[in-house]
Amino acid sequence: MATADDPATEEIRRAIRDLCRRFPDAYWREMDAARSYPEAFIAALTEGGWLAALIPEEYGGAGLGVRQAAAILEEIHRSGGNAAAAHAQMYTMGTLLRHGSEEQKRRYLPDIASGRLRLQAFGVTEPNAGSDTTRIATTAVRDGAHYVINGQKIFTSRFDHSDLELLLARTTPYDQVSDKTQGLSVFLVDLTTPGIEAHPIPTMMNHDTFAVFFNDVRVPAENLIGEEGKGFRYILDGMNVERILIASECIGDGRYFVERASRYASERVVFDRPIGQNQGVQFPIAHAYAAVEAAALMRDRAAELFDRGERCGAEANMAKLLASEASWQAANAAIQTFGGYGFATEYDIERKFRETRLYQVAPVANNLVLAYLGHHVLGMPRSY
C-alpha cells in the first residue's frame, strides 16, 4: 500500500476482497468470452450497498468519501475483476449531489441507492466534438414545461443497463455565447422516453457501450440539474471524481499485474532457477511497482482534496494520467514475464491487458490531460 488507510477504509477493502472471492477469475473469463454483462456481480455490489457509497445516509446511501469509494473500485480490479460495469453510479454523484435540487435528490437518490433505479449512463462524448466538450452539437430547446433534445452521443457505456442518463446538451448556441463554456446544461433523462435510439459498439474488450440518438426527446424541465447554461462547470465536478475513481481502477490493475508477475516469476523455474532471479525479468516488475505506488500517492492526494471540498482539478488529472500509464507499464511487464502463457486466456493476463489499455484513451485521453496541465497549471498557450 502506498499510504496507510484508516481502520474504516481498511475494513472496506477487506469486505470487497471477501465479496470478490465469490467471483473468481473463471467468472470474469466467462463474462469476457461471452461478452456478457456481469449481472450477478453487480447485484452483489448493490445488495452490499457498495454502489451507494457516495450517496449520503439521509438518502439511503453509505455516506462515504471519495477516498473510500476509490478503495472499493481499486480492490475490485486488484482482485481480477472489472468495475467498469458499475462505476458511473459513483462518479455521476459528483454532479447530482453538488448541483441537483433537494427535490431531485429526494426523488431519485433513495431508489438509486437501493438499486431500484440505475444511473449508469453518462452522455457527454460526441463523434464530431473531439476533445473540446464545448463543441457538442446535441441541443435542448425549451418548449413550455419540457426541453426538446436532439443530437447524438457516442461511447455511452451501460446504456442498456441504465434507467437514467446524465446528459450534457447545448441550451444556447455556441455562436451566441461570449464564453464557450456557457450555454451548456445537464439533464437527468429517463431512458424509456420516446425518441431515444441506441446501437451497440463492439470493442476490443467486454465493454458495454453504445451510440445513442435523440430525436425530439421531451424531457421535463424539472429534470434540469442546477441552472440552465451552467452545466459545463457542473460536469467538471463529476469529471474530477471520475478521474480519481478511474485512477483507482488503474492502480488496482497495476497491483494485480505486479502481484501476479512477481508470484509467477518466483515460481517459474527455467534452466534450474526461478526466472525472477534474472534482473531482466525482475527489474521491469520492480519498476512498474514503483510507478503504481507513486500514482497511488497522487490519487490519495486528489481524493483528500475533493473530500475536503477544495480544488483538485490538477491533482485528479495527474492521478488519472500517472495511474493509467503505470497500469499499462505493469501490464506489459506481466505479459513479458508470463511469456507465451500471458497470451493464453486461462491465465487472465491477456484479458486484464486489454481492459487496462482503455484508460489511456478514456474517459479522457492522456494527451488532453497533458494539454490541461500545460495550459491551466503551467500557464503555457492553449494548444487546441
User: Do residues 42 and 27 touch, judged by C-beta distance below 8 A?
Assistant: no
Picking from 132, 128, 174, 176, the residue whose alpha carbon sits closest to that of residue 152 is 128
pLDDT in tens, 64-106: 999 999 999 999 999 999 999 889 888 888 789 889 999 999 9
Half-sphere exposure of 247 (CA within 13 A, CB side): 33
Is 0.85 surpassed by the pTM of this model? yes
* Residue 2: per-residue pLDDT: 52
Tell me phi and psi for residue 5, to 5 degrees: -85, 155
Burial of 16 (0-12, 13-18, 19+ CB in 10 A): buried
Domains of the chain: 7-114 (1.10.540.10), 119-231 (2.40.110.10), 233-377 (1.20.140.10)
- Between the CA of residue 316 and those of 35, 306, 311, what are the distances in Å? 31, 9, 10
| 156/201 Cα distance (integer angstroms) | 9
* Residue 129: per-residue pLDDT: 87
Q: Does an H or E element contain 235, and which?
A: helix 231-267
* Residue 350: per-residue pLDDT: 98
Structure-block grid coordinates of residue 287: 519498476
3-state secondary structure of 49: coil
Residues of the chain with pLDDT under 50: 1
* Residue 43: per-residue pLDDT: 96
* Residue 285: per-residue pLDDT: 98
* Residue 219: per-residue pLDDT: 98
User: Do residues 123 and 133 touch, judged by C-beta distance below 8 A?
Assistant: no
Q: Cis bond leading into 56, ω under 30°?
A: no
* Residue 3: per-residue pLDDT: 59
CB atoms < 10 A from the CB of 5, how many?
16
* Residue 1: per-residue pLDDT: 46
- Between the CA of residue 348 and those of 25, 31, 153, 258, 281, what are the distances in Å? 7, 12, 32, 14, 19
